[in-house]
Amino acid sequence: MAKIKWDHTVHYVNDLQKAIDRFKEEGLIAFSGGSHKQWGTYNALSYFDLCYIEFLGVEDRALAENVKEPNDVVRDSVKLLPAREELSRVALRTDDIEAVRQQLSAFQLDMSPIMDGKRLDAQGNLIEWKMMTIAGDYQGLPYPFVIQWMGTDQERRERLIDSKIIQKHPVGDVQIVEAVFDVKDPVAVAKHWQELFGFENESTEVAKLIVGDQTFVFKKGTLNRLQKLIFQTANPDLKGKTITIGEGEYQFL
């Protein structure tokens, strides 16, 4: 079975600079990522080792509304914005996206072809990857999408540190530890994602999936979406705070 880890989280926002500035106020580094010229979207990024937040906005609405590829991340951007600045899908990183596609084919999901993604970063450098989206939802919760970067995790980490994409935040060490999903039936959703992606479940009674050193937690509610990210920090000024951007929450423990 291919390795699957939590790569990043998409948060749709109307103003990338406001998101950057809000993080900066709390001593967290976020910066302009670049433009997806073939999709009409652009982003800002905030890294916590290899797991990061992607603030995603619509740069060219006409293009984003008419993307030919079945890219549900882009489709969601024009569906949600400007009205709903929500935390959205999580991206799952793999070292073998073809194997993951084969693994998921047994569940009769509506998967996109494996697409070549690319964007120019703020310095004009070309960033490339492969990705696959899964259309629809399970009990109202949108599926994750799958991404594969070039090279191993360690090679990518070293490259991102060398290029100062991954930096130490002014507040010190901060790690993303949990994603909290608000869903109608937490146990059923957790079981379904466990079957799809092979995550470990703490128990059949607890709707919590182990994703490497992190967890996906499913709590009972009516939103049917990712509600907040939980961070671990030792900084006393940040500990106990919750940053709210649009309808997304970032809680620091």
Are the CB atoms for 175 and 250 separated by under 8 Å?
no
pLDDT at 94 over 70: yes
CA distances in angstroms from 225 to 55, 165, 202, 228, 244, listed in the order given:
16, 28, 21, 9, 16
Query: DSSP E strands: which ranges in 122-171?
Result: 126-132, 137-138, 141-142, 145-148
Number of domains the chain contains: 1
Beta strands per DSSP E along the chain: 4-12, 31-36, 41-48, 51-58, 87-94, 115-121, 126-132, 137-138, 141-142, 145-148, 174-183, 200-203, 206-211, 214-220, 225-233, 242-245, 248-252
Across the range 47-61, mean pLDDT stands at: 97
The reported pTM is 0.93
Average pLDDT over residues 70-88: 95
**Single-letter amino acid, residue 48:** F
Instruction: Record the tokens describing residue 209, joined without a space.
Output: 């999936």
Q: Which residues contact 113 (CB under 8 A, 6 or more apart)?
A: 69, 70, 132
Confidence of residue 204 (pLDDT cuts 50, 70, 90): low
CA angle 78, 192, 179 (to 5 degrees): 60
pLDDT for position 163: 86
**pLDDT tier at 225, thresholds 50, 70, 90:** very high
State mean pLDDT over 196-206. Answer: 80
Pairing outcome for strands 87-94 and 145-148:
parallel
CATH number of the domain residue 93 falls in: 3.10.180.10
Tens of pLDDT, residue by residue over 120-143, are: 776 777 788 999 999 999 999 999
pLDDT at 50: 97
Domain that holds residue 180: 4-252
Q: How confident is the model at residue 210 (pLDDT cuts 50, 70, 90)?
A: very high
Res 203: pLDDT: 62
Coil, helix or strand at residue 175: strand
Q: What mean pLDDT do residues 23-43 have?
A: 94
Q: What are phi and psi of 90, to 5 degrees?
A: -90, 145
Residue 184, pLDDT > 70, answer yes
